[in-house]
Amino acid sequence: MQFKKLFIPGPTMVHPDVLAKMATPMIGHRSKDASDLQRRITEKMRKLMFTQNKIILSTSSGTGLMEGAIRNSTAKKAIVFSVGAFGDRWADLGLLNGVPCDLHSEESGNPTMPETADKYLSTGKYDVCCVTHNETSTGIMNPIEGIAEVMKKYPDVLWLVDAVSSMGGAKIPVDQLGIDICITSSQKALALPPGLALASVSKKAEARFEVVGNKGYYFDFKNLIKYIDKKDHQYSSTPSLSHMFALDFQLDRMEKEGFENIFVRHLEMAEFMINWANKYFKIYPKPGFESLTVTCIDNTRRINVADLNKELGNRGMQISNGYGDLKEKTFRIAHMGELHMDDMIEVTSAIEDILKLN
Ligand SMILES: *Cc1c(COP(=O)(O)O)cnc(C)c1O
């Protein structure tokens, strides 16, 4: 197998020292060492997420926690605001779990606007609001601060945010924004192998879990929290301790770089990519709502994206085609996790060379 430098929006590149931590010898998952490990991760994740909320770990990908979140939180009805494939997933998860749920979809390329959220929530029909922070399929970053202002008008509504492809790359001050459940995965901006998901859970959400029935078993959040509280930061079944060793170490690396420095690094890469996209093609999302972690490019030159990626592969790099219906109509270049400006210059220069752009 030939390994390539990944410019895809997950899994992302993992630093060799972090990969090596995955090979740490096993410990008992009911040991004090396991409690200490989970507690250390919790404390560091709280800093990264700017929250005092509890942090639940899940040996699953992020979708598992999204499924758990909508199912554990909805007593009345959920409203899902979708701007693409991952927003639609919230609604599918609701539907397939028998959770009452409505879906509002935007035309592709457009964000969820605060006014739209307000319009739905003012009906009083909903007790859960699901939003995608960073829609990886269309490269949109939703205006989370504006939506937060609206959410403050509805204290009885739980706010669930999919931050899978942005947490660790963009600043998301969870407590200031008032996010009740904020979800992320290991394999995106956190730059770990796939297989672990994390979420912050507010007191308000915890109270809701008390009254919602039929929560299933594996993703019963009340049970996950019981193990944090009563068993001193343990996990209800056997967790991927390997991921936990790696995450504990990776969060130290991130703290060493400085969280604010990491956010600036992502902002600079995003600005570079947006300018590059607009110079040679066109940015796909509505201007002003471009993602800080992945750039979705409108294929205005009608290039063959699959061929481009093959040629990039020969040079040891890989980007992403468009997602679903947007295949060949768009292509995506991620700039998250371990990637730096030098990498973005490398991949864009290679594309310019292959396509003979000037
Ligand atoms: C990748 C992604 C998901 C799915 O996460 P998994 O960890 O693959 O389950 C959900 N939402 C967004 C925005 C994503 O980018």
* Partners of residue 200 on adjacent β-strands: 55, 182
CA nearest 154: which of 117, 182, 181?
A: 117
pLDDT value at position 1?
A: 85
Distance 63 CA to ligand 1 centre (A): 6
* Tens digits of residue pLDDT in 57-115: 999 999 999 999 999 999 999 999 999 999 999 999 999 999 999 999 999 999 999 99
Enumerate residues lining ligand 1, CB below 6 A.
Answer: 9-10, 61-63, 86, 132, 134, 136, 162, 164-165, 185
∠86-187-38 over CA atoms, to 5°?
110
**Which is the CATH superfamily of the domain at 5-11+258-355?**
Aspartate Aminotransferase, domain 1 (3.90.1150.10)
Q: Which CATH number fits domain 23-255: 3.20.20.70, 3.40.109.10, 3.40.640.10, 3.20.20.370?
A: 3.40.640.10
Peptide bond just before 285 cis, omega within 30 deg:
no
Q: E strand or H helix at 127, and its extent?
A: none
Fold match flag (5-11+258-355 vs 23-255): no
* Tens digits of residue pLDDT in 177-187: 999 999 999 99
Q: Which pLDDT band holds residue 334 (cuts at 50, 70, 90)? A: very high
The DSSP result for 265-294, as a single string, is HHHHHHHHHHHHHHHHSEESSPTT-B-SSE
Question: Taking the CA of residue 139 as centre, how many other CA atoms within 13 Å lie in the half-sphere pointing to its CB?
Answer: 30
The ligand 1 atom nearest the CA atom of 186: 7
Contact yes or no for 55/200 (Cβ under 8 A): yes
Report how far residue 298's alpha carbon sits from residue 259's, in angstroms, rounded to the nearest whole number: 31
Domain limits, the chain = 5-11+258-355, 23-255
- Pairing verdict, β 294-298 and 282-283: antiparallel
